Every structure is written in C-alpha cells, then in structure tokens.
Structure 1
Amino acid sequence: MTACPLIGITTSFKEGKHILDVRYADAVEAAGGTPFILPCTRQSSTVHHLVGLLDGLMITGGPAIEDGLIGALPSDISSTDPRRTESDRMYLRAFKQRGAPVLGICYGMQLINADAGGTIHADIQAVLENPLVHSSDRGGKVHPIRITEGTWLANILGAGDHSVNTYHIQAVASVGDGLVLSASAPDGTVEAVETPDGTVIGVQFHPERQLEDLLPVFEHLVQRARGSHESK
C-alpha cells in the first residue's frame, strides 16, 4: 500500500495554545493525505527537522499581515501575530528550498506573496472605486472570481467563473517575483497566485469551508506531495 503523504498544517498561537480549525485537517484527509499539525516555533532547527519528515505544507488562514503592507490596518481587522508570521515564513522558505509543494490559504496566500517581494493592501475596500464586500464581518458571504486560462488553478478547478466564500480585509496589491496571477474578482482583487510550475499555490478564499466544490485544491497539494514523498 502506498503511504499517504504527510501534509504539515500551520497553526495559530494564542494564550499559550496552538489553535487550528479542524476543517483544514479534514480537507487533507478527504484528499488522501495525512495531516500533521505544526507548532509555532522560533527554532530553525525544529523547522528543518520537520521539513525533512513531511511531504507538503499548508499555510492556513491567520492574523493580519504587516509584511509588504500598503496603508494602515483598519480597526476591525484581527491583530497581527509576529510570532506566527515568523514561524510560517521559516516553514515556507524551507519547503520552497526543498521543492516540496505549498498551499497558502487567505493569510497564507498573502504571506507567500509578501515573501516573494509583493505588496499587501491593508484594507482592499478602502482603495477600490467599486469594491465587493470581501469581509464576512462586514456582510460579505460569497462572490464570483474568474480563473485565468492556462494556469495551474485552471487545471485544478477549471478556467472561467466560479463562486467562492470571502473572509478577508487585506488583499494582494502587487504580485511577488516568481508568482503569476491565476484568479481575480470582478473588482480587480487578486484571488489566487501560483508559481509557474504549480508547486506553490495561494488562494484568497477558504476551500476548506467549501469542500464540496473546492476539494480538488487539496487533491492537487496531496498529489504533488506524493511525488515529493516518493523522491525522498
């Protein structure tokens, strides 16, 4: 029997506890992988040891991000968490260096973009002329996106129009080096980025909360991780 790839899942850290929405782990299992819950750590030795054991990485939704920030953070956004951001950045760089697959969700996509030199709007609704409501706390629920033909995300979900959930205030302003835009909302908001080889994919929406439609996003991660596992 072929072993299920081990997918590392990043966590938030609050009041001395690691916190994770179980839907992330459920999504990995539904896609045929084995979830491995990662600690927030400041130790690079811990990161590199874990990366050697794992086959793929998921950077989950999280706090507000300050890297590459344009504008001031609004009062209704979740607070920043430098400890988590530092930890996630170390995991991201280590997995990229190894050539193992990475999926970033919401904050995770923004971190991928900022780490590649891209910029982040502090509040997307404050900078667009006719913005959609992207934050569920401000009344947003779902909105359409258009996936660009010829991208890996198009290969995963199909090119053209899709409907996705929306839970963010920040958004990508400029796409980072080595990344390509693979989906956008009607108001111009960046909804997905990826590397040209599809090893790293970031989505602004939350596929784990819309699994009946978006399971293939996790299946792509697990499939790529299986290749990473077999090449060890």
Structure 2
Amino acid sequence: MITAEESRKITLNGVWKQNPGVVQILGMCPTLAMTSTVVNGVSLGVATALVMLVSGMAVASLRQYVPNELRNPVYILIIAALVTVLDLLMNAYLRDLYLVLGIFIPLITTNCIVLARAEAFASKNGVLQSGLDGLMMGIGATVVLAVLGAAREVLGKGTLFAGLDLVLGPQAAHWILHIVPPEYNYQFLLAILPPGAFIGFGFLVAGKAWLDKRASAPEASCATGHAKG
C-alpha cells in the first residue's frame, strides 16, 4: 500500500523538487529537439510518462529476482520491450504523429530519465510507489516539454496547438490558435531553430531556480527573526 503522505511527497518531487527537466537536467536531446510545437512536446512527454509508469512497476516487481550485477541490462531490456510495444501501437493508430516524432520514440529506451528512475527508485521501492514515481517524473518532464514547446511555437510561428490534427484527427486542424493573424506571415527563426531551444530552456532553468529562491526567502527571514528574538 501507499500512504497519502508518500503520494504527496512523490508527486511533489516528480513535478517540482526533482523535476527531471529543469532540476536534474536529464533527457536534454528530446527536450531540445521535439519542442518546436506544444503538440510535439506533449505527445513525446506523454509517451515517456507511460513507459516510466509501467517500467517502474515492472522493475519494482522483479527487483528481488534480478542479480545485482545484471541489474542495468535487465532494466534496459524491460524498458526496450515496453518502448517496442508503444512504438508499434503509435505506428498503427497514430501514424502521422509517429512519423513526426520519428526516431525519438525508439530512443525513449535510452532516455536517461527512464533508466535513472528505474535504478534510483524502482529498484529500491514497492510496485505502487515506483509506478507513481515514474508517472510523476514523466508528468514533470511533460510539463517542461509543454511550456518550452508552447513558448517556441508562439514566438516562432505565432500559433498555438499546430499539429493537433496529428493526435485528434482531421477535425482538429481548425482548432489552431493564431496568436498572430495568418495574413502577416509571421515567423521568428531564432525561436524555431535549435539556438532558440537552448535559450528557452535556459530561461526555464533560471526561472525554476528563481522561484525556489523566492519561496525559501520568507522561511529564511522568519528563521532570522526568531534567532534575533
């Protein structure tokens, strides 16, 4: 069983305190490569979160039967099997999105976020805790991908939710939000190209650090006040 306090701690760690994107700085390659639009970023993030959820539970359930010296190879095989299933399902049912995400679906196997949580958490904790940890870490990574993708899409193309039809079908092609009217033919190449991804990611990391520092400032002030009193 998993307690409410455990759930709260795991959720907070995955989404904020130990966010794999802006705190642990893991999975940089997909973060920078697939965030040209919010749809691409969120789609890859959700796929990664699903793999982390199932792989965390699988590793936790098998950890007692895996020799210590074979730990990493076995974990990689488990993750690879799950990614293969996901790859085939997306190819069958989300073909257009699958073609856009391309090699980054199979590369979830080698994503250091997935293997890191299998090694650092799932190999030492219960099945439910490991599943929740994998899911929350995946959601934390997805939030980073979504924010960076949205910022780059708005600044680079003046749109939001471009490519939503890849996920929801042709009817969603008209759901694109045009922040800048289409007749202006707006485009800001720096935001679309890789340098824009690096700059945007740097702002996210700095913003997270600033918010943490700001949140801890009142606590430090209170502690100083009590000491003087």
TM normalised by structure 2 equals: 0.25
Higher-strand-fraction structure:
1
Higher-helix-fraction structure:
2
TM normalised by structure 1 equals: 0.25
